[in-house]
Structure 1
Amino acid sequence: MSVRHRRPLLVATVLAGAGLALTACGPDNTDTAAGPAPSASNTVAAKPTVGGPAPAGAPTTGTGARPTTHAPSGGSTKSGSGGAAGGPCDVQNLSIHLSARSGAPSQRVIEVQNKGGGACTLSATPGVDLGNSATRDQSKNLKPILAAGTMRYTVAAGKTAYVVLDLDPSGATAGTTPSINEVNVLADDEDGNMPLASIQNFPLGADAKVLNPSMGMYRATLAEAVASVASAPN
């Protein structure tokens, strides 16, 4: 999958005898949904082996980042539903967890809690890819197919945003991708908003079945996140 990243550029010009003040635009407030596109692979650089299988259904905390050349990212156009205007997120204020969704064996829930004192904005979905923790070459990691749209998502102070990742929407037991045992997550996938060192690595376990994974958008409740992933193309 490929993501079009947008980065605001502020230019300050000093004129003799006069000052010119410039202001930056806040987060997007209008959903400009676009059609879904097939997933594509971004390059993720080599990494050492860490982590092991997580107990089924147990919440998992990321093991931290490994060096990468690109942050993991989704491929189709994204959208979200933000709240009040917020500012850039300091990754130190975010708590990120991954757990299995009860009653849905192929689904994983990514929770991003804002522990800071103010609201912050995130990309419509986190940057996510799936690979093998023991493989140094991560260039062929899988990216989930995403629900459509472009709007960023605002997380109020003390609140949690939810995203559902479906490893195998078809429920197939044959033809799945072998050796996938890890999910890599960057909370804000917008280019330049978070350092690559902020990528978190979550073990899936050696028996995880992965085939054409899909992912929804950040939502305020788990029920809304479940509905969002259901809208992603299969």
Structure 2
Amino acid sequence: MPTLHRSTALAAAGTAVLALALTACGGSDGSGGGAKDEGAAKPAATVAAQPSKDASAPSGSAATTAVKSGGTTVTKTATAKQAATKSGGSKDTDSYAYTHPCAGGQVTVRVTRRAATQRVIEVRNTGASACGLSYYPAVDLGSATSADQSHNIKPLVPGGLGGPPAYALHAGRTAYAVIDLDPSGATTGTAPGIDEMNVLANGDHMPNAETRNFPLGSGAKVLKPKLGLYSATVAQAVASMQQADTRS
């Protein structure tokens, strides 16, 4: 009988130890105990990170940033990428203009009087993108009633110019070129019967059909006219005209 009691006591002690061990295991597998929340966060983080490892998601994409940095950073990243795309795809740049010549429907041409013998040629870009002009407009002077324009007078232009690209005209901007019909101011020896100026804004690429005709008025004095390069201001255009020394 004493032996029976000793075995019972040992069995009871073993049962208590086993119960204690099971309780400890239950706390570690997330089914109970104070470590439950911390343990659950790790599997969740692992699942959330999986999309960034997907081969279909580009490296550095907004999806990857979302996993690594959170929603706020994603917004900033997307905005930055949109801005970069917009900037990189802009059509109002010099480089775009140099590869896209101005067409007749994209520009307007206007001529105004600056002085007794000077005229200002204004070419305005009315389009939404930049375009390229020649170094100066193609200009000749003749009679509005003459059927033969082959003997029209062409002005001198600045020499020493390189090849294209020439003048980049941005959207909404105006390019100016100044011509002096009679730089010497002579009143004798001038060409008779000259009353019209013909202007082709982009002589390098526009067809002759785009030529615009502007009356000079009767009695216009024309003798060795000079034409300057396209410029951003009238003052610069005048300075360029004064350097004209080469036949156009």
- Give the TM-score normalised by structure 2: 0.58
Residue 228 (structure 2) aligns with: 216
Q: Which amino acid aligns with 2:101?
A: P
Residue 28 (structure 1) aligns with: none
Deviations 1:180-227 (A, max 9, x none): 00000111111xx21221000000001100000110000011111011
Deviations 1:121-157 (A, max 9, x none): 0110111100000111111100001012135111000
Q: What does 1:85-164 align with in structure 2 at a 5 Å threshold?
A: 85=95, 86=97, 87-101=100-114, 104-148=115-159, 149-150=161-162, 151=164, 152-164=166-178
Q: Secondary structure at the match of 2:123?
A: strand
Q: Which amino acid aligns with 1:90?
A: A
Residue 243 (structure 2) aligns with: 231
Identity of aligned residues (%): 50
Which blocks of at least 5 consecutive residues in structure 1 are unaligned? Answer: 1-82
**Structure of larger gyration radius:** 2
Residue 219 (structure 2) aligns with: 207
| Structure with a larger share of its residues in helix | 2
- Give the TM-score normalised by structure 1: 0.61
Q: Which amino acid aligns with 2:158?
A: A
Name which structure has the greater RCO, CA cutoff 8 Å, separation 6+: 1
Q: Secondary structure at the match of 1:232?
A: coil
User: Matched residue pairs, number?
Assistant: 148
Q: Secondary structure at the match of 1:165?
A: strand
Deviations 1:155-180 (A, max 9, x none): 00000000001100100001000110
- CA shift at 1:233, angstroms? 2.5
Question: Among residues 161, 166, 169, which one is paired with 2:183 in the alignment?
Answer: 169
CA distance in 2: counterparts of 1:221 and 1:99, whole angstroms = 14
CA distance in 1: counterparts of 2:245 and 2:105, whole angstroms = 33
